[in-house]
Structure 1
Amino acid sequence: MDTYKKTALLCIEEVRTVLDQVNEHELSAFAKALTEANRIFISGDGRSGLMGKAIAMRLMHANYIVFALGETITPSIKEGDLLVLISGSATGNAPSDLVHKAIKAGAQVSLVTANPDSKMGELCKSILFIPAATKQRKQHEPVTIQPLGNQFDQSVHLLLDSIIVKLTDKQQDAMRARHANLE
């Protein structure tokens, strides 16, 4: 009989399979783009946006200047800044417009996507390809028991959080000091 715990373990195994296929060079290039940016702007729609906000919070704890697009306190992007766009499909007019606006302002763009053939990726400083399933269920995407883009979202969260873990080695006390205290 299938249990909830067995289902959770199967989901974990699916994500492990995805993470095993991620290119270490792409992870390093993405991390380098973060560390070289004056300020970081993170964007994504739906659950990708929620994963982006979680990463933005961790970057803030790590003392990066970071903003989530769509928030009322987000300033204009400019030269020396980095736009991190999280999009499973990396298609559509809205993400493409963001990339073009950021580049026009002199900023760099890093794309996190499950689409290896994204045209907007050609404009980006770095691309982090995550070979996970999205809600589109394209032919190159793996089979998953999970609905919609769950596998992509989980993989994004773990990979980007692991970059922050690596970048903030031995900074736990400083990060704790920047954690919210008006809770």
Structure 2
Amino acid sequence: MMHPIEVIFSEIEQVFAEFDHMSIECVAMRLAKAKRIFVAGEGRSGFMGKAFAMRLMHLGATVYAVGETVTPSLQSGDTLIAISGSGVTKQTVWIAEKAKQLGCEVIAVTTDLSSALANIASLTVHIPAATKYRRGHETQSKQPLGSLFDQCTHLILDAICLQYANNQQVEHQKAFQRHSNLE
């Protein structure tokens, strides 16, 4: 029997063997051109999104997490990153629809290229991982619920941040200056 950490690494490796790595560069380039970036997701996808927003802020982006009390209104020209493993989370799909109506670019992060969320988006980051629904197109997983999607999403969003930092020439010291100093 495999050790649990080996199971997790093996499953992540399987997802990344099927993942289109070019989407990392594509998203990083689009984010560099964005006026402002908004990140949306519910539940665990929302947690991944908030971690991503924080990292982008450290890299100098103007970025907001949708639903926070200090988040301003979306405006034409903004970019929305909408995260939903299934691509059908009602609140996330509604936010993406609203963003598109307002003239924003919508980038979806999902497992399902035919989902409502992917159909709204101008660019979809397809993560071929398992979600809590265990649909036929999803990679098999021994982990509970959407853990595999969450883990892969976190790594892919971190890779986008690394590419963004490289493209924008943001060095560690510059990012560190933006890190919270109230802790």
Q: TM-score range by the shorter chain?
A: over 0.9
Q: 1:32 to 1:125 in 2, by over 3 A?
A: farther
1:124 corresponds to which of 121, 136, 141? 121
Could you tell me how far 1:95 is from its partner in structure 2?
A: 2.3
Could you tell me how far 1:168 is from its partner in structure 2?
A: 1.2
Could you tell me how far 1:92 is from its partner in structure 2?
A: 4.2
**After alignment, is 30-39 or 19-28 more displaced?**
19-28
CA contact (8 A) 1:60 1:66 kept: yes
TM-score (norm 1): 0.93
Could you tell me how far 1:63 is from its partner in structure 2?
A: 0.3
Could you tell me how far 1:13 is from its partner in structure 2?
A: 1.6
Pair 1:21 & 2:12 matched: no
**One-letter identity of the residue aligned with 2:28:** A
- Equivalent pairs counted in the alignment come to 180
CA contact (8 A) 1:33 1:126 kept: no
In 2, the alpha carbon distance for the partners of 1:70 and 1:7 equals 35
Unaligned runs of 5+ in 2: none
Give every structure 1 segment of 4 or more consecutive aligned residues whose post-TM-superposition deviation is greater than 2 Å.
Answer: 24-29, 92-96
**Residue 148 (structure 1) aligns with:** 145
TM-score (norm 2): 0.93
What is the CA deviation profile of residues 24-79 of structure 1, one whole-angstrom value per residue up to 9, with x for unaligned ones?
Answer: 23223222221111111001110000000000000000000000011000000011
**Residue 172 (structure 2) aligns with:** 172
CA contact (8 A) 2:112 2:118 kept: no
CA contact (8 A) 2:53 2:64 kept: yes
Pair 1:182 & 2:164 matched: no
Identity of aligned residues (%): 40
What is the CA deviation profile of residues 101-130 of structure 1, one whole-angstrom value per residue up to 9, with x for unaligned ones?
Answer: 111211110000011211332321210000
- RMSD, matched Cα: 1.4
